[in-house]
A and B are shown apart, each in its own frame.
Chain A
Amino acid sequence: MIGGSVCNEQISASLIFAEGQQLTYENKEALWEIFEAIGETWQNTIYNSNNQRSSWFEMLKAKTENAPNYTGEYVNAIYVLNELYAEYGKKESFKKLFFESGVDNSAPPTTRLAHCKVFVINEFIRMQITAGGFKSWGDANGGEQAKNYHGFLGGTRYNRTPRVRAFDDDPVHSKK
């Protein structure tokens, strides 16, 4: 058990109702700390998470200004974080959340902690990877770094610049 009464409070597994609600500036900054912590923990970003900040804001906007509204989930995550921060401090709280939450990711989330993990942490992880956080893989043994990933948006319509790690023997298009 990593949290207290807030984390363990039983709630419905469905998305927390929040139609008509919106995030405050402070809410967004609190959520950004989660996103930054993901990059710091797995060392999967180039420099840090800041080059994904505008994309992340755009996702938050899309998820809170259209139905179903995620504002309730995001605010719930802040409640959970605040309880964990008080108990463990920030760094240890993220370690607990990412590696020791005890939440079954494939089961319906029925606690505030599980909601935080399933609707916020897990989705932020997917967002970070598909926004470019996969690029730190591929070169551990001297090979080429990954260039593309399912869901990654980048590149041009024309093949002037390779968008993927290409087969070297391709005489036409594989120049790195």
Chain B
Amino acid sequence: MKKRYDYIIVGAGVAAATVARGLLLHKHDTSILILEAGPEIKAKDRRFWWDYITRNERPYTFTYDQKFEADSTGNIEYQTDGVRVKAYGGSTMHWGAWSLRFKPEDFNLHTNTGLGADWPMNYEDLESYYNDAESFLSVCGDENENWSPRSKPYPVPPFQWTAADGEMIKAWEQLDVVYQDGDINPGKSSKIKSGKMPVARYRKCMTTGTCKYCPIGGRFNAQYVLDDLKNDPRFINFEVRINSPVHHVNVSSKSKIESVTFTDNLNGKEYTVAGETIILASGAYNVPKLLRASKNEFWTDGIGNDHDLVGRFVVSHSMLNVVGKAKTNPNGWFQEYDFPTLMSHSYNTKEHQKKGKIFIFKNRATPNTDIAQLMIDGKTREEIDAIVYGEMEVNIQAFLEEKGKFSNRLEARPGVDRFGLPQTTVHFSRTDEEMENANDRLKLLEQIIEKMGLEITSSRVDKPGGHHTTGTARMGTAPENSVTDKFMRVHDTDNLYVCSNAAFPTGSAVNPTLTLTALAFRLVEHLTNSEKTTETSKKIEWKYQL
């Protein structure tokens, strides 16, 4: 290990992989050290895969926060266990690979509604980077969709709607989009529009539905990118250290970040390494904790925390769930993929923004019959047939956008986890109005289930969870309203960046990973100050190393 690097990146997930790759492709001998607190979990391992198939065991779950390591306070429980993978590759070890762009109105939430925050950029500023990200992740999508303006088609064609999607699509085609109290009614009625879920297929995805642990490296996993970088002989100054939690970011002045201090978990020794530029890419949980832990004479409350904003404005998605039941399932339908194929942005629009946009999709696993479990339970073929063609459950779900509030905060609590990272407390409450809005939105889903002719058996707003946590070190225009500037550089520093969901000022109603990847591409361009090169041109170079 060197004592000084051009770049030190904390974390080894999709943001770190994207940034490291971009920097190395720009200049091959750039020295980069990635420090990952967690271990390496073997990918594409046949034994792991068979254990997943036969026993539903996944090899990365031991890295999850345990319930007793991550609690919450407030008027609603915030789920923090089981939501993030602390390992080489980060949460791409377990993600669903849904890859959706934010919509233009998401970047102007406060301007449009008086709530939450604006981004210090517009959708148009990020659009070309979305193209890069979609190309990098091989996102499949519908070339005919027009949910968000796009200058390039999806690089890979979409998955089909499954037969089981059909009844919901037909219901949507009969239903006008509803505007509830608090929405802006544009005046002209339109039907709910069906869309195909964009999913990152990466290199070899064979569309098989074994996504929680892929045996062939099909679903995108940041591990693969980092492995390629490590094995490429051109990148002689690229290093990754696993089992190396960073505890402190060190400064030599208010603006100059000098180094980071980490522990090698395997030998117990502490090391300090210097970097010209430090990039915190360790997620919306770890980044604020690390910033606040990094106190010094210049930053007495932690780096970037002069205005007490680090860790605040935490948002995630609330999941809305409505389940309906049909008396029969004559075609024996079940959702044949392990991810949803049907979705709609019809309620994810500017008109619905103030009350709370929702992104709706048919649940990834309904209808479903666990045929193997029925056999294990000793059901005969005749009994299984009766179940397969009998009652059918369909679940429609939606992510509800939430607005960041100053009082909602994620912070460290005493004690560390098995990897030496600080434990977590999330202070999170919803207002009565937010609760009412969520319940109102639930009625929109109930209407769809009823239009399908199903009996509603369950309708609920799930507790918020950390899967899509954003906002804890948000971007903005000034230190008084944010932690970083529009390039994700911590205010009043020269060389400390946050490349994480933490930097998102808002969480939109869709999954954050594609937007994070786009921001990582944008950060690479900012750091290298290069002319914008397209992903296609990079791929020409890339093919020589793969």
Contact across chains for B378 and A141 when beta carbons are under 8 A apart: no
* A156 interface residue per 8 A CB criterion: yes
**What is the CA–CA distance of A170 and B334 in the complex, to the nearest angstrom?**
18
Partner among A41, A58, A166 whose Cβ is within 8 Å of the Cβ of B162: A166
Contact across chains for B372 and A166 when beta carbons are under 8 A apart: no
Main SS of the interface on chain A? loop
Contact across chains for B332 and A164 when beta carbons are under 8 A apart: no
* B149 interface residue per 8 A CB criterion: no
B336: chain A residues within 8 A (beta carbon):
146-149, 163-165
* B179 interface residue per 8 A CB criterion: no
* B188 interface residue per 8 A CB criterion: no
With both beta carbons as reference points, the residue of chain B lying nearest to A60 in the complex is identified as: B50
B95: chain A residues within 8 A (beta carbon):
none
B50: chain A residues within 8 A (beta carbon):
59, 62-63, 127
Contact across chains for A167 and B162 when beta carbons are under 8 A apart: yes
Contact status of A173 and B209, CB under 8 A, knowing A129-B372, A150-B338, A165-B333: no
**What is the CA–CA distance of A162 and B337 in the complex, to the nearest angstrom?**
12
Give the contacts of B154-176 with A (CB-CB under 8 A): 157-166, 169-170
Partner among A38, A58, A129, A140 whose Cβ is within 8 Å of the Cβ of B46: A58
Contact status of A174 and B161, CB under 8 A, knowing A125-B372, A147-B336: yes
Interface-located stretch among A24-32, A84-92, A130-138? A130-138
B53: chain A residues within 8 A (beta carbon):
126-127, 130, 151
A158: chain B residues within 8 A (beta carbon):
157
Query: Which of B50, B52, B334, B365 has the largest count of A CB atoms less than 10 A from its CB?
Result: B50
Distance (Å) between the CB of A66 and the closest chain B CB?
4
Contact across chains for A159 and B162 when beta carbons are under 8 A apart: no
Query: Which of A123, A147, A159, A167 has the largest count of B CB atoms less than 10 A from its CB?
Result: A167
B166: chain A residues within 8 A (beta carbon):
167-169
Contact across chains for A130 and B372 when beta carbons are under 8 A apart: yes
Contact status of A125 and B375, CB under 8 A, knowing A99-B380, A149-B336, A170-B161: yes
B114: chain A residues within 8 A (beta carbon):
none
Contact across chains for A140 and B389 when beta carbons are under 8 A apart: yes
**What is the CA–CA distance of A99 and B544 in the complex, to the nearest angstrom?**
57
Contact status of A164 and B389, CB under 8 A, knowing A122-B376, A143-B331, A174-B161: no
Give the contacts of A38-82 with B (CB-CB under 8 A): 38, 41-44, 58-59, 62-63, 66
Contact across chains for A153 and B215 when beta carbons are under 8 A apart: yes
Give the contacts of A104-147 with B (CB-CB under 8 A): 105, 121-123, 125-130, 134, 137-141, 143-144, 146-147
Contact across chains for B161 and A167 when beta carbons are under 8 A apart: yes
Contact status of A123 and B54, CB under 8 A, knowing A156-B206, A157-B205: yes
With both beta carbons as reference points, the residue of chain A lying nearest to B205 in the complex is identified as: A157
| Number of CB contacts from chain A to chain B under 8 A | 168
With both beta carbons as reference points, the residue of chain B lying nearest to A100 in the complex is identified as: B378
B163: chain A residues within 8 A (beta carbon):
144, 164-168
Contact across chains for A126 and B161 when beta carbons are under 8 A apart: no
Distance (Å) between the CB of A162 and the closest chain B CB?
6
* B204 interface residue per 8 A CB criterion: yes
**What is the CA–CA distance of A70 and B355 in the complex, to the nearest angstrom?**
55
**What is the CA–CA distance of A156 and B166 in the complex, to the nearest angstrom?**
23
**What is the CA–CA distance of A144 and B336 in the complex, to the nearest angstrom?**
13
B388: chain A residues within 8 A (beta carbon):
137-138, 140
**What is the CA–CA distance of A163 and B170 in the complex, to the nearest angstrom?**
22
B369: chain A residues within 8 A (beta carbon):
137
* B41 interface residue per 8 A CB criterion: no
With both beta carbons as reference points, the residue of chain B lying nearest to A124 in the complex is identified as: B54
Partner among A38, A59, A138, A159 whose Cβ is within 8 Å of the Cβ of B157: A159
* B201 interface residue per 8 A CB criterion: yes
Partner among B55, B157, B169, B209 whose Cβ is within 8 Å of the Cβ of A149: B209
Contact across chains for A138 and B331 when beta carbons are under 8 A apart: yes
* B432 interface residue per 8 A CB criterion: no
With both beta carbons as reference points, the residue of chain A lying nearest to B53 in the complex is identified as: A151
Contact status of A170 and B160, CB under 8 A, knowing A141-B389, A153-B206: yes
Contact across chains for B169 and A167 when beta carbons are under 8 A apart: yes
A170: chain B residues within 8 A (beta carbon):
160-161
Contact across chains for B377 and A151 when beta carbons are under 8 A apart: no
**What is the CA–CA distance of A150 and B211 in the complex, to the nearest angstrom?**
9
Contact across chains for A153 and B208 when beta carbons are under 8 A apart: yes
Q: A150-B210, A159-B159, A169-B166 are in contact. List 15 more A-B contacts (CB 8 A).
A: A42-B375, A42-B381, A44-B371, A125-B375, A138-B331, A143-B332, A148-B337, A155-B207, A155-B208, A159-B160, A159-B207, A165-B164, A166-B162, A167-B160, A169-B170
10 contacts between A and B (CB under 8 A): A42-B375, A62-B46, A137-B385, A143-B332, A149-B334, A153-B215, A158-B157, A165-B164, A167-B163, A169-B169
Which positions in B face A, CB cutoff 8 Å?
Answer: 46-47, 49-50, 52-55, 142, 144, 157-166, 169-170, 201, 204-210, 215-216, 218, 330-334, 336-338, 365, 369, 371-372, 375-378, 380-381, 384-385, 388-389
